[in-house]
Chain A
Amino acid sequence: MHGFSRSLNASGPNAVNRQAGAGERVSHLQGCHGGSMGFLTTTGRAFLVFLEATGRLMLFTSLAISHCFRPPFYFRLITRQMIDIGYYSLPVVGLTALFTGMVLALQSYTGFARFQAEGAVATVVVLSITRELGPVLAGLMVAGRIGASMAAEIGTMRVTEQVDALSTLATNPFKYLVAPRLIAGLTMLPFLVLVADIIGVFGGFLIGVYRLDFNPAAYIGRTWEYLEPMDVISGLVKAGVFGFVIALMGCYHGYQSRGGAQGVGAATTNAVVSSSILILVFNYLITGLFFSR
């Protein structure tokens, strides 16, 4: 495991070194074969950079995960992160879920009314929210709120040498900064999504009953009728993965940031963009996994 640590410590400067080396080799090739190799050069260089970034992320991830399971554990920090992610994200996630549930009820009613299937509104709302929209929308909102703040905080600590200061005080930055955030992300997102599921379904209920004149008892009955435990569970599994991805991207990009305010700004952008994309990718993969039959 120490091998990871060492290569990570040296990753910044060495990375530049290796990239430069790759570039030189490729431009040498170009010199030999003339301009026709231009396309291959560009593709090859981009591919090498991609492989290197992937490798660095994998090392970071494995190191971070290993530190989640090794003492000392900073319970105070884990609790603080859990409150920050779980409690303070409730308003934004709750509002997102509420309006999504309401819109979903209205839109599906419009659609289903065209072939006299209005009765399916409640079912469509609950399945869409628990299986897809709850986890994905909560994930994206938290990526914007938490991923950005993690990247900015760790990035600023990085460029002001606070991360180095941690090391000199015999405290492992991975254990102190990264592990608590990963644990909090992994555990709090499912909780947030569970709340989002309930609020989203409630939003659909409000529209169904007060705008579309459904019978309240019938609406609730239809909500439960076709809902299976796996619908909710798959959403919560997604949420756990999304929470981990958000915290990982925030920490990774913050940890890699260099060069002052601009570097921290770039880290924040990269954290939000990469975690949003990864959320959408993993959403598809996990959906495929759960519904492969």
Chain B
Amino acid sequence: MSAMNYFADGTPVGTPPGTFVETPKLRLTNLHKAFGSKVVLNGLDLEVGRAESLVVIGGSGTGKSVMLKCALGLLRADSGSIQIDGEETTRLGTRDRERVMRKFGMLFQGAALFDSLPVWENVAFGLIQGQKMRRDQAKEVAVEKLAAVGLAKEVAELFPSELSGGMQKRVALARAIATQPEIIFFDEPTTGLDPIMADVINDLIIKCVKDLGATALSITHDMASARKIADRIAMIYKGKIIWHGPVSEIDNSGNPYVDQFIHGRADGPIQMEVMHP
């Protein structure tokens, strides 16, 4: 499917980050997803360019997580198209799906570390299972990746339950980057962390994504985090992208929904479903 004159990852040489060449890294087109009668995604369109960091902001229940899971292939969209490097992924077979999955890294909101495995094996999981690397070799890489997220060698032997929330998030980040993915998804990377640890995670995300030259798609409702890690911001509301633009324009979007959200006001066009007595 990938166009001519492109390298294996679908990118021509020397393309500046974030610019749209013919094929965006990830393209979601007219995505629909409903659970029963509840429509969650309602014709969502989104494009993420090569080596770009796009942050999707939006309130709870607007479809952020569902969008991310559809893009990852964990949920199946009802209709619409999901293209990775121009390749349609909504109808892939098991083997092709696994091949596409190798391009992905994912940082889960709750870290989702395997609690039956020590920290180093968590980080090395994709290397051992996915890339068939030898265990001792994979352990070395894991320790290296742990160092990259500021964790000492001793942590490698601990189990996830012995770590604090911030440390778990960092281990999960190390796991997400260990296989050198081309696209990394971040699900609420700073939720549940104190402001300082949240900033540490933000810095690490920027550093890791830059080091890898990876494309990043994040969802968050933490504006401080969004402003810091985004090249471009998109806002999702009722299952659609209602605004997108460079992070510098977020304060002058001219969109009342965006304004209400970034200033955190209860009054405005977005009405929360709260029962008033």
Contact = CB atoms under 8 A, between A and B. Distances in A.
A, B bound? yes
Interface of A: 1-2, 5-6, 9-10, 13, 16-17, 20, 72, 153, 157, 160-162, 164-165, 167-172, 176
Interface stretch (B104-112, B194-202, B267-275): B104-112
B258 to A, nearest CB: 29
Contacts of A16: 35-36
Nearest to B185: A168
Contact of B94 (A17, A72, A172): A172
A171 B129 contact: yes
Interface stretch (B24-32, B72-80, B142-150, B248-256): B72-80
A1 B234 CA distance: 37
Contacts of B109: 161
A20 B36 CA distance: 7
The size class of the interface chain B forms with chain A is 35 or more
A10 B130 CA distance: 24
User: For chain A, what secondary structure do more than half of its interface residues adopt (helix, strand, loop), or is it mixed?
Assistant: helix
Contact of B112 (A6, A153, A161, A176): A161
A170 B106 contact: no
6 contacts: A1-B94, A5-B97, A164-B112, A167-B72, A170-B179, A171-B129
Contacts of B106: 164-165, 168
A59 to B, nearest CB: 14
A167 B129 contact: no
B105 A10 contact: no
Contacts of B92: 2
Contacts of A172: 94, 98
Contacts of A153: 116
B126 A164 contact: no
B102 interface: yes
Interface string B28-58: 0000001111000000000000000000000
Contact of A160 (B93, B112, B129, B175): B112
A169 B108 contact: no
